[in-house]
């Protein structure tokens, strides 16, 4: 498809940049790729996950992932243990305390976006999600 409006690509770029660079969105990105992201992943993985698996899923470098897991372990939100079949592999498992923290964070996220849902309405939010998924498919993951 050929775009007739020469300014449209630049306008789209500017709007996306404005959206992504807002303070609350930077906090969300840091949260997703940080402790909450790890807790969220682990809450969906009953068998746990290795640091490498988590890093790949969240696009976090190994050194940063090691720091996140150390912090979560110190807070007693996860435990790390070696698996019996291969003692070299260490799996992180979420604790009950970690599940509670993750649940509280999900509730905070729900509250954060209530205003947007009121402005757009449920159908437009669904349409926005649908369109953003299309945008994401345009930029395939390089990892």
Q: What is d(CA 110, CA 34) in angstroms, rounded to the nearest whole number? A: 18
Looking at residue 95, which CATH number applies to its domain? Answer: 1.10.10.10
**Residue 98 contacts residue 36 (beta carbons within 8 Å):** no
Count: domains in the chain: 1
Q: What integer is the mean pLDDT of 9-23? A: 79
53 lies in some domain: yes
123 lies in some domain: no
80 lies in some domain: yes
**Residue 134 contacts residue 140 (beta carbons within 8 Å):** no
Provide the pLDDT for residue 108.
85
72 lies in some domain: yes
Q: What is d(CA 110, CA 49) in angstroms, rounded to the nearest whole number? A: 26
Provide the pLDDT for residue 102.
92
69 lies in some domain: yes
Instruction: Report residue 136 as tokens.
Output: 């994401």
Q: Answer yes or no: is pLDDT of 65 > 90.
A: yes
66-117 per-position pLDDT tens digit = 999 999 999 999 999 887 777 788 899 999 999 999 999 888 888 888 888 8
Provide the pLDDT for residue 30.
61
Q: What is d(CA 24, CA 21) in angstroms, rounded to the nearest whole number? A: 8
Range of the domain at 85: 33-105
51 lies in some domain: yes
Q: What is d(CA 43, CA 49) in angstroms, rounded to the nearest whole number? A: 10
Q: Please give the full DSSP string across 81-134, using - where no structure is assigned.
A: EEETTEEEEEEEEE-HHHHHHHHHHHHHHHHHHHHHHHHH-HHHHHHHHHHHHH
What φ, ψ does residue 92 adopt, rounded to 5°?
Answer: -100, 135
113 lies in some domain: no
Q: What is d(CA 80, CA 49) in angstroms, rounded to the nearest whole number? A: 9
Q: Answer yes or no: is pLDDT of 142 > 80.
A: no
114 lies in some domain: no
Higher confidence at residue 33 or residue 110?
Answer: 110
């Amino acid at each position: 498809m050929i775009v007739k409006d020469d300014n449209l690509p630049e306008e789209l770029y500017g709007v996306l940049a404005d959206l992504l660079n807002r303070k609350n969105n930077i906090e969300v990105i840091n949260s997703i790729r940080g402790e909450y992201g790890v807790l969220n992943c682990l809450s969906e993985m009953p068998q746990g996950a290795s640091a490498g698996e988590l890093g790949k899923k969240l696009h976090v470098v190994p050194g940063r992932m090691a720091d996140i897991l150390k912090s979560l372990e110190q807070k007693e939100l996860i435990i790390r243990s070696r698996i019996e079949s291969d003692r070299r592999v260490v799996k992180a498992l979420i604790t009950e305390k970690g599940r509670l923290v993750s649940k509280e964070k999900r509730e905070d996220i729900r509250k954060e976006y209530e205003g947007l849902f009121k402005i757009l309405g449920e159908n437009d939010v669904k349409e926005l999600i649908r369109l953003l998924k299309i945008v994401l498919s345009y930029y395939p993951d390089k990892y």
